[in-house]
Structure 1
Amino acid sequence: MTVSRSKPVIPIVAAPASEQTISLYQKTSKVYPRSVSGYFKNWRWFMIWATQLVFYGLPWLQYGGRQAFLLDIDTHRFYLFGLVIFPQDLFYLAMLLIICAVGLFLFTAVAGRLWCGFSCPQSVYTEIFLWMERRIEGDRLARQKLDAQPWGLRKTGLKLSKHSVWLGFSLITGLSFVGYFTPIRELVTDLTQWQLGGWSCFWLGFYSLATYGNAGFLREQVCKHMCPYARFQSAMFDNHTLIVAYDSARGEPRGHRAKGQDYQSQGLGACIDCSICVQVCPVGIDIRNGLQYECISCGLCIDACNDVMDKMHYPRDLIRFSAAGATDQHALSSHLLRPRVLIYSSLFVLMIAWLGYGLLHKPDFKVDIMRDRNILYRETSQGIENAYQLHLTNATEHRESYQLRAIGLDGLQIESEQTLTAQPTEEVLVPMSLLAPAGNQRGSQRIQIEVTALSSGEKVSTDSTFYQP
């Protein structure tokens, strides 16, 4: 079958090799990203608003008279709206982490580092801090001139204003972060009354300073040198992965020219060598040099280049999201059905369904029974007695009573209390003794302890062993 080719293939080439000596102690040049508007810039800000509304708003949501989403460190409880998850439920956390990993593999195989460009906290907060910086100090050229000026009253005032806003925003970010682990309403009250506990104070300061340092100063250096994702991403790329690519066949050779001039008659490419694509890049790379590990696939260079092409009356998409093996939209969509994507997608959907099913059918209480290791059995006038410790966890937020029953052996009965009451989210550890007629059976016998919630009728059973002489 012949596939029509409406667009030429964008060759993905490595950066040109050139010999140069770089000192290991050379100071890194500061990147001054230029402001740009366009399709990908709008999507970027949409994701910033979406992620930050969730991050800052979720701790304030209330459910059933308590914080709806809370990782309570003091009580070792994880409150997720109507669910209460205990440390014994680490299975759910492990499944969630695996789902995140598979999702990252899936999205990277399909569209490269979209997570980095649109949702990564480092990219999100860097963009927010850059917006504050532009509002106070101006755009790229104004910031460069300001930094080059000697210190004076104006420069000191602008810098103090910028860092004050940064620190204030970082403090709010740190407070929201700690609010996921300590009830945020109590946290704010303690903060206003200067009664913060030691650990809350430490993590509030740590996360605030981390936000301030990473988004205000380190910025692209985190993506280049500290984030491991930038290093192993190439293992998840193939010829069908969408990446930001420069069409060198159409753009080269570069050169300046008058607006609207026929560049082909002069032997030039579509690229006018304005370097705006480099100026808007938040990590300071030149996408025209080919695919580089620093690229976070934010698409800002695409918006900048399309704006220049519009002004020059040239066709758009000199820089665009493209795959090395795709030549048109039909071929590009067909690459989504390749085996790697299908396997990742299947695993992703199945694990989400498994996790959802497990959470929806999670039992309202947990039961565990442990034998008393001090004595194997005791012979009494009524029969053979075995001692145990019953551990029951009430995973609901209401008071509950439970009925205990022992099964699996003729004449087996519970000699201790047969009814147990637990307060909301309480863990109860009580002694329990079982009695069986002497001479009934010998040796060890498998038994079950069945616990029934009186209000709901839910039953949970756990296995143990009963010893006889």
Structure 2
Amino acid sequence: MNEHIPLHNIDARAGSPTLMDKIHTRSFQGYFRRLRVLGGVFLFALYFGTVWLTWGDRQAVFWDLSGKQFHVFGSTFWPQDLVLLSAILIICAFGLFFLTVLAGRVWCGYTCPQSVWMWIFMWVEKVTEGDRNQRIKLDRAPMTFAKFIKRAQKHGLWLLISLATAITFVGYFTPIRELVANLVTLEAGGQALFWVFFFTTATYLNAGWLREKVCLHMCPYGRFQSSMLDKDSLVITYDAARGETRGPRKKGADYKSDGLGDCIDCQMCVQVCPTGIDIRDGLQMECIGCAACIDACDSIMGKMGYDPGLIRYTSERGLEGGGLRILRPRLVGYAMVLLVMFATFSWAIASRPLLTLDIEKDRGLFRYNAEGQVENSYVLKVLNKSQKSQSYDIRATGLDGLELNGTDKVTVAAGERVEVSVAVAVEPESLANEVNTISFHLRSETDPAVTVVEDSKFTGAM
């Protein structure tokens, strides 16, 4: 027995949008729209605001690709820490699985950047060209001066939003204050101009022109969501048992005696859908879970004096009268895995070494110094990952009478890498083999707990 909610591919001839169709959404109000607006405001503030925050004398969140440093508030990450980035991506993937099992495509409907920017661009379209019927009429009308002005206003605002989005995104990789100043004074370099132009164009095309086509034809998420849904997943569902048979009627009419259900076939759920589907045809791959149809249907039910919830968040089991089961083995399993992964990641962040040492041995095998000792040369590459300058003591061990010639101390600024040349010497009689293992020890003077030990080879004649 199949335990997954089936997805339906509705034939385009039956009314579902094709690749070339333009969808005109209708304005609506409701609880889920307010929730989405609040979420969008928060995400916009997070995206556009974080890039302007400072931490000490630098940008708080800054991905310095040229310097191979990734600053996230009080932490600085290096290429050696990229395994942590992989861990973040894995945690996000499992988080997406968890949300899908719990409540379907809520990520797509409320927080996906494509959806958030798409709603903003549709709002601009409404402000400049009017509501759904006005926009349809405007599309069919010949080009006039009034139509040209409306279209120019719409595309102008789209481009301004796209430009702001692009500058902010590039600002996470190039100091934002310097970038904006250079753009204003026309002193920006070619590379910065290219990426600002590229992301402006990408945002303008994705959110303004492609819109739902990205969700329908480019995003793979909708195609594998059915493998994650089960009979207890919360999804947006039309209650066919209550709504059928559909048909128009007057408010207050005794429609039950005419064999009609609560659905008055007003098409509002279709007209507000950003992907242009009819939710009454069942759960479909194209549904992004935005709940616009719930808000629209509830408003109509209220006007007709009917109970809300003809279209609602529920599960397949709930729709069949079996009630909702939020806690279930599959969901608990995802939650436990997420907790373990998050705890492990937090431990890895807290315990990651703030000092790294790479050793590069001189190509020459060995030499004899003025005292007749066997001497090897090394370059110590010291990386200070902490947020303050550190002085480190340098020691070498591993052979009897091993001496460190040159500096035995190095000072490294916060987030900097320093190369130190040192020579290590030992009496010939102390060598047991032609190739010997020695260790270099670095320890912070201010924080003795910050220490590192790395091995290298010492060569010499016996």
| TM-score relative to the length of structure 1 | 0.91
Deviations 1:124-148 (A, max 9, x none): 0010111111111111111111111
- Output the amino acid matched with 1:302: I
Residue in 2 that maps onto 1:267: 259
In structure 2, what is the Cα distance between the partners aligned to 1:465 and 1:34? 73
Residue in 1 that maps onto 2:127: 135
Is the counterpart of residue 369 in structure 1 residue 339 in structure 2? no
Residue in 2 that maps onto 1:3: none
Residue in 2 that maps onto 1:258: 250
- Output the amino acid matched with 1:241: S
Structure 1 position 297, deviation (Å)? 0.3
Structure 1 position 61, deviation (Å)? 0.5
- Output the amino acid matched with 1:321: Y
Structure 1 position 310, deviation (Å)? 1.2
Is the counterpart of residue 58 in structure 1 residue 47 in structure 2? no
- Output the amino acid matched with 1:391: K
**2:40/2:111 contact within 8 Å kept:** yes
Structure 1's 200 and 257: CA in aligned 2 closer, same or farther, altered over 3 A?
same
Residue in 1 that maps onto 2:416: 426
In structure 1, what is the Cα distance between the partners aligned to 2:322 and 2:243? 24
**2:239/2:319 contact within 8 Å kept:** no
Candidates 386, 390, 405, aligned match of 1:400: 390
- Output the amino acid matched with 2:331: V
Percent identical pairs in the alignment equals: 43
Is the counterpart of residue 460 in structure 1 residue 449 in structure 2? no
Residue correspondence of structure 1 range 403-418 to structure 2 within 5 A? 403-418=393-408
**1:16/1:289 contact within 8 Å kept:** no
Residue in 1 that maps onto 2:93: 101
- Output the amino acid matched with 1:422: V
**1:14/1:289 contact within 8 Å kept:** no
Residue in 2 that maps onto 1:342: 332
- Output the amino acid matched with 2:21: S
Deviations 1:327-351 (A, max 9, x none): 699942x433x22222221222222
Candidates 209, 213, 236, aligned match of 2:228: 236
**2:383/2:418 contact within 8 Å kept:** yes
Deviations 1:378-401 (A, max 9, x none): 455543333322111122344332
In structure 2, what is the Cα distance between the partners aligned to 1:329 and 1:413? 82
Deviations 1:57-95 (A, max 9, x none): 001111102211111122221111111111121122111
Residue in 2 that maps onto 1:310: 302
SS in structure 1 of the partner of residue 101 of structure 2: helix
SS in structure 2 of the partner of residue 335 of structure 1: coil
SS in structure 2 of the partner of residue 156 of structure 1: helix
The runs of 5 or more residues in structure 2 that have no matched partner are none
Structure 1 position 418, deviation (Å)? 1.1
Q: Which deviates more, 71-80 or 391-400? A: 391-400
Is the counterpart of residue 72 in structure 1 residue 64 in structure 2? yes
Structure 1 position 17, deviation (Å)? 6.8
Structure 1 position 20, deviation (Å)? 5.6
Structure 1's 21 and 308: CA in aligned 2 closer, same or farther, altered over 3 A?
closer
**1:116/1:123 contact within 8 Å kept:** yes
Structure 1's 276 and 454: CA in aligned 2 closer, same or farther, altered over 3 A?
same
Candidates 342, 357, 373, aligned match of 1:383: 373
Q: Which deviates more, 90-99 or 398-407? A: 398-407
The aligned length equals 454
Deviations 1:210-232 (A, max 9, x none): 11111111111110011121222
**2:163/2:196 contact within 8 Å kept:** yes
Structure 1's 279 and 425: CA in aligned 2 closer, same or farther, altered over 3 A?
same
In structure 2, what is the Cα distance between the partners aligned to 1:92 and 1:102? 15
Residue in 1 that maps onto 2:190: 198
**2:7/2:226 contact within 8 Å kept:** no
In structure 2, what is the Cα distance between the partners aligned to 1:166 and 1:99? 34
| TM-score relative to the length of structure 2 | 0.92
Q: CA RMSD in A?
A: 2.4
**1:365/1:394 contact within 8 Å kept:** yes
In structure 1, what is the Cα distance between the partners aligned to 2:12 and 2:55? 62
The runs of 5 or more residues in structure 1 that have no matched partner are 1-10
In structure 1, what is the Cα distance between the partners aligned to 2:451 and 2:389? 17
